[in-house]
Structure 1
Amino acid sequence: MNVLTPVQTQTMKAAVVIGAGRLRVEDVPLPQPGPGQLRVKLEGCGVCASNLTPWAGPEWMRFPTEPGGLGHEGWGVVDAVGENVQSVAIGDRVASLGQHAYATHDIADENAVVPLPAEFDGKPFPGEPLGCALNIFKRSDIVAGQTVAIVGIGFLGALLTQLCVAAGARVIALSRRPFSLDLARHSGAGETIPLDDHWRIIEHVKQITNGRFCDRVIEAVGKQWPLDLAAELTRERGRLIVAGYHQDGPRQINMQLWNWRGLDVVNAHERDPAIYIQGIRDAVTAIRSGRLDPSPLYTHRFPLVRLDDALNMTRDRPDGFVKALIVYP
């Protein structure tokens, strides 16, 4: 193993979830990279809404978690590499797909990191959700002139609003929070609609699209009703893109509607790490070109000892909240 400087300590700080809604920060042994791996001294980690189900302590969840577990949106500087690592060097700043990033250090495979350009220095870069947004956008097949409805304007929905506007699409943004609708307007959405009454929304969208509905509808909430609504807003032979995280139970669908309208339905979640990595590379390109600017969306920052507050805020989504980051000194 190579190191940038002599290691001053053999321990690191890591969050351990010990029960539903409870965690502690522990001093644990500093992990060492094996062959083909590297270690990242993390600058920060984004807080993902997918953490909320295990944080709530469902029956299947096992506590305590592994140190740093659940954190998967890390970025930082490589401080050690294992044998046979060729493409990344000590001192490189990277976005990582490591899975233990609620800690000051994390291990990742060489092919699970993306080097970040120098102009990103000092700026947060939670690569996993940024790459997710680019992959969803790519699978949505959005082109100029289309009408695109985005159901749910959180971090993901706001990123997709920017990307769709940059592509020349007309965006209809739907969200329950006035703050999120304001955010969508500032990102270029042509129409914003409160996510309240099911039939009122359908009639409104029907009216503003001259009865045609939307070429593309991206559902980005992860709940039953928004999924139902998204299908209703998709035109005949349109594309319904499921981007929400539907992992809190089974869903029912209106197959009669889907079948009658001849909808193309895309489940836009990726599991192949190589596709995730390409999405992160595409996010780097999109930010450098000006098509994407995530910086206004990082609304709250917390130290590791306040990870519980960050998770609770991600769950409760108070006014003004979009995305929480855990930052390390």
Structure 2
Amino acid sequence: MHETLTTEDKAVADTPATTMKAAVVTAPKQVAVQEVNLPEPGAGQVRLRLEGCGLCASNIPVWEGREWFSYPVAAGNPGHEGWGLVDALGEGVTDIRVGDRVAALSYNSYAEFDIADADKVVKLPEALAGKPFPGEPLGCAMNIFRRSDISAGQTVAILGVGFLGGLLVQLAKNAGARVIAISQRDFSLKVAQECGADEIIPMDDHYQIIEKVKGLTNGNFCERVIECTGKEWPLNLAGELTAERGKLIIAGFHQDGMRQVNIQLWNWRGIDVINAHERDPQEYIKGMKEAVAAVAEGTLNPDKLYTHSFTLDNIAQAFHSLTNRPDGFVKALISY
């Protein structure tokens, strides 16, 4: 048996009896909003009535199509940045209540409802009432920042200023570091400045960037370099910008094949290379809890980075914007 939100729970409207709307990627670059069965939570799970879900760049290969994907994908997949209200509890769930507003680590959140394990949801405090909270990427930023070991007085280069890069600029500045932001789009460089970057450099000419950073650091380069693009060229550039015995943090999601890097340079400079993507779900949850505290306290402000909003019915347009990134695009949210 599971507990279900009723009409007496004023926090939420009536729950549909048996079905919900969900986005289904039926083929590469084709998505349909379908009426599907309402999922039921199993033992140790909760069901969420979603308020929204962020779009992640890691969705692009699924949207564009790769030979290793099969279609149609599961309803609501690959949405994994959802938040909303708990509306049903599975058997054995005792520390979460129906009506709690939460962010979740779940995987089918391009839909009105999703299922999450009870130990993979994070309660949102009253201070965040009414605010969007895509917990997974916010938690990811906190985890990457922790792994980066940034402290006051260091010079930190951040390559690629989208949503993740903008958050990391804020976190590095709050830690007392000097931040050099390197990004391709003029708009993203302005975002970096708004987030507190001390220096901005267009990501255009490989060797000119190296010389500019060299000049800004008296030839010493950067104690910390965070690569956020997931592309091969910026990864190689990141190595060039890392100081001797510095740390190169790979935060970008490298998902399309092999990478060639200058191991000789990495070896000669004695740099530490850190792959900062967590795989343990509880590490994600730890980061999400830290993000809740940081946003609630005002030390992290993601609001300025939410630039586009779409409804579930026009999710095809959302995917198009995610792929083509029109001027001004940083982070898109789907609202239900």
Distance 2:251 2:199 in 1: 20
Q: Is the 8 A contact 2:128 2:296 kept in 1?
A: no
Alignment of 1:44-63 (within 5 A): 44-63=52-71
Q: Is the 8 A contact 2:49 2:87 kept in 1?
A: yes
2:55 corresponds to which letter in structure 1? V
Q: Does 1:14 align with 2:15?
A: no
Q: Report the alpha carbon displacement of residue 305 of structure 1 after superposing the two structures with TM.
A: 1.6
Q: Does 1:5 align with 2:6?
A: yes
Q: Report the alpha carbon displacement of residue 289 of structure 1 after superposing the two structures with TM.
A: 2.2
Q: Report the alpha carbon displacement of residue 291 of structure 1 after superposing the two structures with TM.
A: 1.5
Q: In structure 2, the residue corresponding to 1:150 is in which secondary structure?
A: strand
Distance 1:8 1:274 in 2: 32
RMSD: 0.8
Distance 2:196 2:59 in 1: 30
List, as ranges, runs of 4+ consecutive aligned residues in structure 1 with deviation greater than 4 Å: none
Residue in 2 that maps onto 1:283: 291
Closer, same or farther in 2 for the Cα pair 1:30/1:195, shift >3 Å?
same
Aligned residues: 328
5+ long unaligned stretches in structure 1: none
Q: Is the 8 A contact 2:232 2:260 kept in 1?
A: yes
Q: Deviations over 1:139-195 (max 9, x none)?
A: 000000000000000000000000000110000000011111111111111000000
Q: In structure 2, the residue corresponding to 1:102 is in which secondary structure?
A: coil
Q: Report the alpha carbon displacement of residue 8 of structure 1 after superposing the two structures with TM.
A: 3.9
Mean alpha-carbon deviation: is it higher for 60-69 or for 6-15?
6-15
Residue in 1 that maps onto 2:148: 140
Q: Report the alpha carbon displacement of residue 256 of structure 1 after superposing the two structures with TM.
A: 0.4
2:334 corresponds to which letter in structure 1? I
Q: Is the 8 A contact 2:163 2:330 kept in 1?
A: yes
| Residue from 244, 254, 269 that aligns with 1:246 | 254
Q: Deviations over 1:281-318 (max 9, x none)?
A: 00011112222000011100001121121112111111
Residue in 1 that maps onto 2:311: 303
| Residue from 88, 96, 99 that aligns with 1:88 | 96
Distance 2:163 2:319 in 1: 15
Distance 2:229 2:283 in 1: 22
User: In percent, how many aligned pairs have the same letter?
Assistant: 60
1:196 corresponds to which letter in structure 2? D
5+ long unaligned stretches in structure 2: 8-14
Q: In structure 2, the residue corresponding to 1:256 is in which secondary structure?
A: helix
Q: Report the alpha carbon displacement of residue 86 of structure 1 after superposing the two structures with TM.
A: 1.2
2:85 corresponds to which letter in structure 1? V
Q: Deviations over 1:122-151 (max 9, x none)?
A: 110000000000000000000000000000
Residue in 2 that maps onto 1:26: 34
Q: Report the alpha carbon displacement of residue 9 of structure 1 after superposing the two structures with TM.
A: 2.5
Distance 2:74 2:239 in 1: 39
Distance 2:234 2:271 in 1: 17
2:46 corresponds to which letter in structure 1? L
